[in-house]
Amino acid sequence: MSFKSLGLSEPLLKAIAKKGYETPSPIQAKAIPPVLEGKDVLASAQTGTGKTAGFTLPLLHFLSENPKEKYRPIRALILTPTRELAAQVFANVREYSEFLNIKSAVIFGGVNQKPQVAAIRQGVDVLVATPGRLIDLENQGLLSIKRVEVFVLDEADRMLDMGFLRDIERVMKLMPAKRQNLMFSATFSKDIKKLAYSILNNPVQVEATPENTAVEVIEQKVYRVAKTKKTGLIIKLISEGNWQQVLVFTRTKHGANRLTKKMVSAGISSAAIHGNKSQGARTKALAGFKSGKVRVLIATDIAARGLDIPLLPHVVNFELPNISEDYVHRIGRTGRAGASGEALSLVSADETLYLKNIEKLIAQKIPVDIVEGFEPDPNASTEPIKPGQNRQRSQGRRQNKPKSEGGSNSRNSNRNRNRNRNRRRNNDSRN
């Protein structure tokens, strides 16, 4: 099968050829025809299999074959959960539309809105956006999506994980009821499917691979290690293996910052990327990593979507995610476009349950190794540490208060902490 056989226009075929693509990936081959037919589509495929082209190519074909008046209202909206993914999708849209009379723009938080507003005022056919900035600009009367003809919800599962359900519902109300809807994601939970069927009309469901299956070309491995020895082990693996480009995942922003400092102290050039970093810092870190100036990029799961790094050889889970699906997204940063890759996980005793859940999800046992001098602690508890548990324990020790003194103040503190966490998640795309 060729891209030409899918029915795409000559200008798109020319852009595809310039990119060096010869044949469509499975998800592209399955998704593009029904999208071209104007049908709503619910598509699931592993990270790194070409989902973005699966919706941008037919979307651009439709817009170019059905031109509108000189003034360009926003005709297509692509909603993404993170700034990095928005920037990546926008770059793809620009590349694929190089030989078309199509204008596109991207908007997200963390940067000055004035250039974004200026681009929109010049007329935009395709708008790529994060939910927060989109709603902010609409509230200010600086953009309108009342004439959107095609709506794409990209990485919908991450949208829900980040607490964007209400924002999605608000965006839906701002668009016309009659439109084509496309939902693309790497995984689909029951909540996502429920959302999909509240948005999509008689959708065609396409799936390139079984849901939540790890990419086959990725070599996966687990290192059992004591929690306190993880930093030493990862430094040893990177140094002795002479790894030059390594993406490392931590569970928390503070953990990413701490590990970055220790890497730099060990003489390994590193940078952290997470929601608390300014957009300028995130862009600089990612650019340095891609160029080779930064050897190790340490990220939280928020950066798992949107990092498009060709031929990335190594991904390391410094800490396993407590959400099993996130493991699939993390390791999907390597092994992209058919290339081989290695995904390693440093697993301490309290992550045993996380590992079991991951292996159940991907339906395979991951090989286990132990490095001499970094053996796991035989006396450590296998009970998972709940989010924030370490912080609460340390605060209790500092204040030297017995547990019984927590009372309602402790419960209120937990409520405030949860509220703040949700605000930070939303602010990642707004601010």
Residues 159 and 76 grouped into a single domain: yes
Residues 345 and 222 grouped into a single domain: yes
Which residues, in sequence order, are CB contacts of 364 under 8 Å at separation 6+? 214
Residues 191 and 242 grouped into a single domain: no
The total domain count for the chain is 2
pLDDT score at 398? 42
Q: How confident is the model at residue 405 (pLDDT cuts 50, 70, 90)?
A: very low
Residues 329 and 363 grouped into a single domain: yes
Query: How many H-runs (helices) and E-runs (strands) does the chain carry?
Result: 16, 14
The reported pTM is 0.68
Residue 169 lies in a domain: yes
pLDDT score at 204? 93
Residues 42 and 21 grouped into a single domain: yes
Residue 378 lies in a domain: no
Residue 361 lies in a domain: yes
Handedness of CA 265, 266, 268, 271 (dihedral sign): negative
Q: How confident is the model at residue 249 (pLDDT cuts 50, 70, 90)?
A: very high
Unique residue bearing structure tokens 């796991």: 376
DSSP, collapsed to helix, strand or coil, labels residue 218 as strand
- Mean per-residue pLDDT, 61-68: 89
What is the residue-averaged pLDDT of the chain? Answer: 84
Residues 92 and 164 grouped into a single domain: yes
Tell me which residue range forms the domain holding 283: 218-369
- Point out the least confidently predicted range of 111-115, 143-147, 314-318, 330-334: 330-334
Residue 386 lies in a domain: no
Residues 78 and 131 grouped into a single domain: yes
The helix (H) or strand (E) run that includes residue 179 is none
Residues 181 and 156 grouped into a single domain: yes
pLDDT score at 255? 92
Residues 103 and 171 grouped into a single domain: yes
Is residue 364 predicted with pLDDT exceeding 70?
yes
Residues 293 and 167 grouped into a single domain: no
Residues 269 and 179 grouped into a single domain: no
| CATH code of 303's domain | 3.40.50.300
Note the pLDDT tens digit of each residue in 187-243.
Answer: 667 777 888 888 999 999 988 765 555 556 689 999 999 999 999 999 999 999 999
Residue 423 lies in a domain: no
State which amino acid sits at residue 248: V
pLDDT score at 307? 66
